[in-house]
């Protein structure tokens, strides 16, 4: 059964924390946009 109602709100602080943790783990140059999108729970157009 699909969830109904208002979509979940974007938590900017949580997304930035996830991105920072990913950069610490993989390094800045080894982190791809796809990695960031997965970690932050957003799609590429939303990231840009």
DSSP 8: P
pLDDT, residue 32, reads 97
Could you tell me the two tokens for 16? 């930035």
Residue 17 lies in a domain: yes
pLDDT, residue 1, reads 61
Say whether pLDDT at 2 is over 70.
Answer: no
Q: Which of 46, 48, 39, 35 is nearest to 7 (CA)?
A: 46
Report how many domains make up the chain. 1
Query: Could you list the residue range(s) of the whole structural domain that residue 22 is in?
Result: 12-47
H helix or E strand, kind and range, residue 15: helix 12-26
Residue 32 lies in a domain: yes
For the question of whether the overall pTM of this predicted structure is more than 0.85, the answer is no
Distance CA 46, CA 19 (A): 14
Q: Assign 10 to helix, strand or coil.
A: coil
Q: Which pLDDT tens digit goes with each residue over 5-38? A: 666 788 999 999 999 999 999 999 999 999 999 9
What's the whole-number mean pLDDT along residues 29-48?
94
């Amino acid at each position: 059964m699909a969830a109904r109602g208002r979509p979940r709100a974007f938590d900017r602080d949580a997304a930035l924390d996830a991105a920072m943790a990913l950069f610490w783990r993989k390094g800045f140059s080894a982190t791809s946009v796809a990695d960031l999108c997965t970690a932050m729970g957003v799609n590429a157009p939303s990231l840009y």
